[in-house]
Structure 1
Amino acid sequence: MKEVPIWEKSNLTLEEAAAYSGIGINKLRDLTSEQNCQFVLWVGSKRLIKRRLFDKFIEQEYSI
């Protein structure tokens, strides 16, 4: 089975997003639990991070 690199995936799990960004899993859970979070995708109860929107979010923020 061929594995796709993280930077080429469109959606990331919390673990992948934490490794990709250096932000902790618990902080990512807090951010994605907010009602107006633009970069979260819910698949049932599974939480995925939309990588491109997450990148934009990080670029615009001063602190998290």
Structure 2
Amino acid sequence: MSTENRLQLPWWQKYTLSLTESAEYFGIGYKKLAKFVDEHKDEKFILWNGTRAQIKRVMFEQYVNEHMDAI
């Protein structure tokens, strides 16, 4: 399937987001988010695709709401 024909879902409908998408979606700097992921490698909201982290959007939203006042 070519890139042009591939269905592009809006970020709020995706199950996982790349770090770039997550940084924009959550309003967190990319470097800060990458450092956070590196420090929390075993959290349930991270899905590893090889060495590339994908953020499980809904689970990360819940984590942020429950555990964070600042990042």
Normalising by structure 2, we get a TM-score of: 0.80
Give deviations 1:19-47, integer Å, cap 9, x for gaps. Answer: 10000111111111124433111110111
Q: Which residue of 1 aligns with 2:37?
A: 32
Matched, 1:4 2:12: no
List 4+ stretches of structure 1 deviating above 4 A: none
Larger Rg: 2
Q: Please give the alpha-carbon distance, in whole angstroms, between the structure 2 residues aligned to 1:27 and 1:36.
A: 17
Q: Which runs of 5+ in 2 are unaligned?
A: none
Question: Which of 20, 26, 29 is matched with 1:21 structurally?
Answer: 26
- Is the CA contact (8 Å cut-off) linking 1:13 and 1:47 kept in structure 2? yes
RMSD of aligned residue pairs (Cα, Å): 1.2
Q: Please, which runs of 5 or more residues in structure 1 have no aligned partner? A: none
How many residues get paired? Answer: 64
**What does residue 61 of structure 2 align with?**
55
Matches of 2:45 and 2:29, distance apart in 1: 16
